[in-house]
């Protein structure tokens, strides 16, 4: 996750203090990479803060942009940050019992906004989806979710880089 948080100094300080601790864990049943299969599993995103940014997943597009994903929150509280290559974005709440659909073509990242609890979600996506981490690594998400006086707030990502070329 180095380079993914807005406050890289805070990330490096935490890393130096705690070592290479996992911010999140993913357990999934791998299935053949074909459209008829559903890869599914559980994501456990721990609670914590880097600078004033909540612990979050790295986030990605699917390599096959036409593939979608279903999330169902089992426990905790958080949000799903989503955006597409046309510049649209959306941030939806995750709380126990909420199902959330990530549309084809939308990058997605989950963020744990609880001060104490893990954010635990079940997910399922097509076997052929694949993961493109590079696009988000390079340009980031347009929006960040930060802790402002104890509550989540959405801000523009000051480090967001517009793609020089659109697909």
Contacting positions for ligand PAN (CB under 6 A):
26, 43, 57-60, 69, 108, 110, 123, 125, 129, 131
Q: Which stretch binds Zn ion (CB under 5 A): 8-16, 29-37, 68-76, 109-117?
A: 68-76
Report the residue number whose CB is nearest to ligand PAN. Answer: 57
Q: How far is the CB of 150 from ligand PAN (least distance, A)?
A: 25
The distance of Cα 159 from the centroid of its chain, to the nearest Å, equals 17
Q: Which is nearer to ligand PAN, 99 or 148 (CB)?
A: 99
Residues 127-156 that bind Zn ion (CB under 5 A): none
Our finding on whether 83 is near Zn ion (CB under 5 A) is no
Q: Which is nearer to ligand PAN, 26 or 148 (CB)?
A: 26
Q: Which is nearer to ligand PAN, 63 or 153 (CB)?
A: 63
Half-sphere exposure of 66 (CA within 13 A, CB side): 2
Half-sphere exposure of 36 (CA within 13 A, CB side): 0
Q: Which is nearer to ligand PAN, 46 or 151 (CB)?
A: 46
Q: How far is the CB of 61 from ligand PAN (least distance, A)?
A: 10
Our finding on whether 69 is near Zn ion (CB under 5 A) is yes
Q: Which two tokens stand for residue 29?
A: 């049943």
- Phi, psi dihedral angles at 60 (to 5 degrees): -165, 160
Q: Which neighbouring-strand residues pair with 110?
A: 80
Q: Which two tokens stand for residue 131?
A: 């993961």
Q: How far is the CB of 98 from ligand PAN (least distance, A)?
A: 15
Q: How far is the CB of 166 from ligand PAN (least distance, A)?
A: 22
How far apart (Å, rounded) are the C-alpha atoms in residues 51 and 5?
8
Cβ distance 29 to 41 under 8 Å? yes
Which letter does DSSP use for residue 56 in this model?
B
| First vs last C-alpha separation in the chain | 26
* Residue ranges binding Zn ion (CB under 5 A): 69
């Amino acid at each position: 996750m180095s380079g993914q948080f807005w406050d890289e100094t805070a990330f490096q300080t935490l890393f130096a203090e705690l070592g290479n601790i996992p911010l999140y864990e993913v357990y999934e049943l791998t299935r053949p990479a074909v459209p008829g299969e559903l890869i599914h599993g559980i994501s456990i995103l721990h609670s914590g803060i880097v600078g004033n940014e909540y612990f979050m997943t790295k986030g990605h597009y699917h390599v096959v942009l036409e593939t979608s994903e279903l999330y169902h929150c089992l426990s905790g509280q958080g949000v799903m940050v989503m955006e597409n290559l046309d510049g649209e974005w959306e941030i939806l709440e995750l709380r126990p019992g909420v199902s959330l659909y990530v549309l084809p073509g939308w990058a997605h990242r989950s963020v744990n906004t609880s001060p104490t609890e893990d954010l635990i979600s079940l997910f399922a996506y097509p076997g052929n989806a694949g993961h493109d981490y590079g696009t988000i690594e390079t340009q980031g998400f347009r929006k960040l979710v930060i802790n402002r006086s104890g509550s989540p707030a959405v801000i523009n990502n000051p480090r967001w880089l517009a793609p020089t070329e659109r697909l």
